[in-house]
Amino acid sequence: MEIMVYIAASLRSFTDRVPRIELSAKSVREALDVLTDRYPEAVKGFFDETGDLRHFISIYVNDRDIRSLKGIATKLSDGDELWLIPAIAGGAQKEGEEAPAKKPAGGSVISAERMKAVTIEEKQIERYSNHLQLKEISIKGQKRIMAGKVLIAGLGALGGVVAERLAAAGVGTIGLADFDEVKLPNLQTQTIHSTRDIDRPKASAARDRLKKLNPYVSSVLHQEKLTGDNIEEVVEAYDLVVDATDNFVSRYLVNDACVLHGIPEVFGAMYQFEGFVTVFAPGGPCYRCLYPAPPPVGIVPTCAAAGVMNALPAIIGGLMATEVLKLLSGSGEVLIGRAITLDAWNLQYHAVQTVKDSGCAVCSVHPVISTAMDIDYEDFCGLKENPEEEPIATIEPEELARRIAEEEPITIIDVREPHERAIRKFPGTIAIPIGQLARRQNELDPDTDTVFVCREGKRSILAIRTLREAGYEGPMFSLKGGLEAAAQIIFPNEGAWL
């Protein structure tokens, strides 16, 4: 059977950057075997140490999640499409049953009583005239939008687009949750912020922008870091939550709090040219249903490390804002039980069905998570040191710069992607992608210190662990903080941007 396999961008480092592969296979298992035979580095990326498919990868045959079929034993037909989509952030159902694509009870998350309590002023009639002319929204829908309370978690590229769209639409109260500050590299994709906002808190900068955009909208700042101790208190004050965060800790945290309080969540994620949008709501699957566990640290690069196209947030953020307006107004088909993936660069759009996991830790009939404080999210996402695991030695940027200047014997391995190395070359290094380290370990001298470098210092740790598992015993060090922390020290005359 001839099929086409589509590889998401964040997994292409294991397939020599190839985005789509035509091959012959009669089942999903056979297709994966052919794929890993052709690209041996994919074995570690796709499968865990027991040989099972990693939990952070979802596989779809055409638009069906294989978990709603027969898993990797699912049979394939000639012309089928196989999509490998990794994690980038109610009621019981029978195992494998698909979640219904339905709106919340009553069609809107805003009750009729709250809608009737809203008055549209004369100036607002003109301001919101575009919505009022749409029969799908009209006066009732706009009043529900104006009564709505929406929390936006993360005010980067996606969160900024959603915030501006919702403020312009007239959403009554917008919660702005972000504890970070605006930095210069943010401005290419995070257009809610401006040059004058550099070093300002993102939430404060966003509030000022929304106030200028629409004075009728109230903004509530949440500038503290969201944790298991405070997340539930924050989300329960809102009708729905927009997850525009950029890390797995926050995605699982926000998801769990929303499930525990029965609050719909509009979810979006981006990577380079690709985006993913869905809605998690009572009765449908949640984020844990799709991705029961996060990827090992370093396997899936962040947008900061891999980049994102400037125009993509506008597309994905616009889709997210649309789902919010549908949930508030009570009109339109909502992406519950469905998801949209988009490769903007290759103009490939795909809609897939998402399925509820009957054994989900938070939304199943017998959940093991009853409060967000039940989970150590950083430990769950592999960000804490395992006391039983041999610690990773690090080297400070100043020490590495000194050893280079004094020409001490040292081997430096650059595990960054080719496009990252093109932005800033690191002379005298050996470029070896993580997936090739095990089979190229003979290029290292076990009698010489080897330093691994990447952008943020996370992939270099994964590289060392990979070599340890492969049996390499030479001294290895991870550059602390990566080249982002070392730029001004190692490359003092070239600026801080990598």
Catalytic residue positions? 303, 454
DSSP 390: P
Strands 411-414 and 450-453: parallel
Rounded Cα gap, residues 405 and 407, in angstroms? 5
C-alpha distance from residue 444 to each of 57, 86, 251, 437 (Å): 32, 32, 38, 10
Q: What is the largest CA-CA distance in the chain?
A: 79
Alpha carbon 281 to its chain centroid, in Å, reads: 18
Alpha carbon 4 to its chain centroid, in Å, reads: 25
Host H or E run for residue 181: none
Give one DSSP letter per residue of 164-175, joined into a string.
HHHHHHT-SEEE
Q: Are 5 and 23 in contact (CB under 8 A)?
A: yes
Alpha carbon 32 to its chain centroid, in Å, reads: 24
Rounded Cα gap, residues 150 and 78, in angstroms? 45
Q: Are 61 and 81 in contact (CB under 8 A)?
A: yes
Give the tokens for residue 294. Answer: 């996060």
120 Cβ contact list (under 8 Å, min separation 6): 128, 139, 142, 143, 146
Q: Is 382 left (phi over 0), alpha (psi -120 to 50) or beta?
A: left
Q: Is 151 left (phi over 0), alpha (psi -120 to 50) or beta?
A: beta
Give the tokens for residue 247. Answer: 């890390």
Rounded Cα gap, residues 17 and 11, in angstroms? 8
DSSP 113: H
Rounded Cα gap, residues 331 and 473, in angstroms? 61
